[in-house]
């Protein structure tokens, strides 16, 4: 294993390590445009030039491999002068339109210019003009003038998606990124070309001119769009509600996790965020004399608690069914099971549903569009006795086995159709819905209690591979909404069947002590990349 000295710091690296990779290990910043850890090395932007003792000229850090005894200087005058020349060349035809560029504030061209720029311009020619603001796909806009020809987007479409829509044509100052004739950048991961563009050449048509990036707040999270559980970042704007039509979430971005999604995320998950702010249930309601009326959250909880308490006292708790969505976190699922099954002694608590399979591929997109199916399985949130699935429980409700049906986020109409929902309403004395967004079930339920979406709560999801991952609240809940576990705590207090917790972390701690597959885990151990269930980890190690 060769040893290299970089800016006075000696480090031993594996054979084949490049200078760029070695600087990353030492947390030494070297500027670059074309290099990306998830793509092949192109070595064409020349911005990562460093001073290597021995060779007469600076070397590119992204391609040059470390050799035994190599000495590298990243901040020498030779290295700085070389980068300054490279940057001057890149800017020779670049438009000075930073104030109106959507990339302003997170542009590497701006950032590197502050450190490496030739502040006194020597350019005395007319800039070469290229096409601006061209839609090249449903989600992507191209501005050829702003492109520095790093070729990241080309390599992404060639190497990651294998769709090859983009290429570089012409020569010299006339070179430009373009879409091949008859094609558009509409692959299932097209938004990633915007993420990896280091300048303002490729911008997101969904986010374009929605909000300046310096007004954004960011929070790490996990995509709930399917069971892969890609790591994401939620960018929100609370300080200027006039932007984005008053909505809080401005965009989602992928977050690096080599165990789950590498550096990418699919468009399906990226653009499916509007439900966080739209069509939300913000106020509790009930149907009284055929009229829907808004009520206080506490009154809704009192009403449901009264029904549950009476059923238990009169030994009718077997006449209550509970449907549970696997959109809930592990903590929510655990408390639903603990309260209804363990404390109230109910058998009919079910999270198994045969949802229609969605789109899928052999990369990230999974057919199961729920983020926590594996978590519900590990926690065994399933009905006892003769109940085989959520659909079976619904059919037995229609057959008259239940007087009360409580749905935690399950849209019966969306799952099985209007006829089934109407048949249930004819049979039960109460259909209660606990959820975050309006749907046909919530509109027809006699009692509705608002709950939070994933972006408003703390907790964990378990993905299809058995990896438990954290989510964090990006902003406070809307209206009266509360996490499902907190709603359970309120119900238990009213009914006298105590289930209590201070926060999601304390519930997870209880899970790790009582559910074998979660043993040994903690929020601290999960960190930002998550950890495998113990049962899965044992299988992997074997």
**How is the chain split among helix, strand and coil, in percent rounded to 5?**
35, 20, 50
Yes or no: say if 471 and 458 are a contact pair by the CB < 8 Å rule: yes
- What's the whole-model pTM score? 0.93
Whole-number pLDDT of residue 538: 57
Whole-number pLDDT of residue 315: 86
Whole-number pLDDT of residue 331: 98
Yes or no: say if 453 and 276 are a contact pair by the CB < 8 Å rule: yes
**CA 473 vs CA 146, 147, 219, 388: distances in Å:** 36, 36, 7, 35
Per-residue DSSP letters for 216-275? -EEEEEE--SSTT--EEEEEE--S-TTGGGG-SEEEEEE--BTTTTBT---HHHHT--GG
Domains in the chain with CATH codes: 3-91 (3.10.20.740), 285-502 (3.40.50.740)
Whole-number pLDDT of residue 542: 46
Low-confidence stretches of the chain (pLDDT < 70) are 118-119, 537-542
The CA distance from 397 to 414, in Å, is: 17
The CA distance from 209 to 485, in Å, is: 38
Whole-number pLDDT of residue 122: 75
């Amino acid at each position: 294993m060769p040893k290299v000295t970089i800016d006075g710091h000696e480090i031993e690296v594996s054979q084949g390590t490049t200078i760029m990779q070695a600087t990353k290990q030492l947390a030494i910043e070297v500027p670059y445009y074309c290099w990306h850890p998830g793509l092949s090395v192109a070595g064409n932007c020349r911005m990562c030039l460093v001073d290597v003792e021995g060779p007469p000229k600076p070397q590119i850090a992204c391609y040059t491999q470390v050799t035994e005894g190599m000495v590298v200087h990243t901040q020498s005058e030779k290295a700085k002068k070389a980068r300054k020349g490279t940057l001057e060349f890149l800017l020779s035809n670049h438009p000075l339109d930073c104030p109106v560029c959507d990339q302003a504030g997170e542009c590497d061209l701006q950032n590197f210019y502050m450190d490496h720029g030739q502040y006194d311009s020597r350019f005395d020619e007319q800039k070469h003009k290229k096409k601006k603001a061209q839609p090249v796909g449903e989600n992507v806009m191209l501005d050829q003038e702003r492109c520095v020809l790093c070729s990241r987007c080309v390599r992404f479409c060639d190497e990651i998606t294998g769709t090859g829509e983009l290429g570089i044509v012409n020569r010299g100052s006339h070179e430009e990124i373009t879409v091949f004739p008859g094609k558009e950048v509409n692959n299932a991961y097209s938004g990633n070309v915007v993420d990896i563009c280091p300048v303002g050449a490729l911008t997101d048509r969904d986010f374009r001119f929605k909000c300046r990036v310096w007004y954004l707040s960011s929070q790490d999270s996990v995509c709930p769009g399917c069971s892969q559980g890609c790591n994401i970042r939620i960018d929100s704007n609370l300080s200027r509600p006039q932007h984005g039509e008053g909505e809080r979430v401005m965009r989602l971005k992928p977050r690096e996790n080599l165990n789950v999604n590498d550096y990418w995320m699919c468009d399906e998950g990226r653009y499916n965020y509007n439900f966080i702010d739209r069509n939300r249930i913000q106020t509790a309601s009930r149907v009284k004399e055929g009229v829907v009326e808004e009520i206080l959250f506490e009154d809704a909880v009192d009403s449901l608690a009264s029904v549950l308490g009476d059923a238990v006292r009169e030994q009718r708790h077997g006449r209550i069914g509970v449907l549970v969505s696997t959109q809930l976190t592990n903590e929510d699922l655990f408390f639903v099971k603990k309260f209804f099954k363990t404390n109230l002694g109910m058998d009919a608590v079910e999270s198994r549903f045969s949802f229609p399979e969605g789109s899928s591929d052999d990369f990230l997109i999974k057919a199961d569009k729920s983020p926590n199916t594996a978590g519900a399985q590990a926690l065994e949130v399933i009905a006892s006795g003769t109940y085989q699935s959520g659909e079976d429980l619904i059919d037995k409700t229609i057959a008259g086995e239940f007087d009360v049906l409580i749905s935690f986020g399950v849209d019966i109409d969306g799952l099985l159709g209007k006829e089934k929902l109407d048949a249930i309403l004819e049979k039960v004395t109460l259909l209660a819905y606990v959820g975050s967004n309006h749907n046909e079930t919530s509109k027809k339920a006699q009692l509705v209690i608002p709950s939070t979406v994933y972006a408003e709560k703390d907790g964990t999801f378990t993905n299809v591979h058995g990896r438990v991952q954290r989510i964090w609240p990006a902003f406070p809940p809307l209206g009266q909404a509360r996490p499902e576990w907190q709603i359970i705590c309120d119900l238990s207090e009213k009914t006298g069947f105590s289930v209590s917790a201070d926060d999601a972390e304390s519930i997870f701690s209880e899970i790790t002590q009582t559910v074998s597959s979660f043993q040994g885990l903690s929020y601290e151990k999960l960190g930002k990349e998550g950890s495998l269930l113990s049962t899965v980890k044992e299988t992997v190690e074997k």
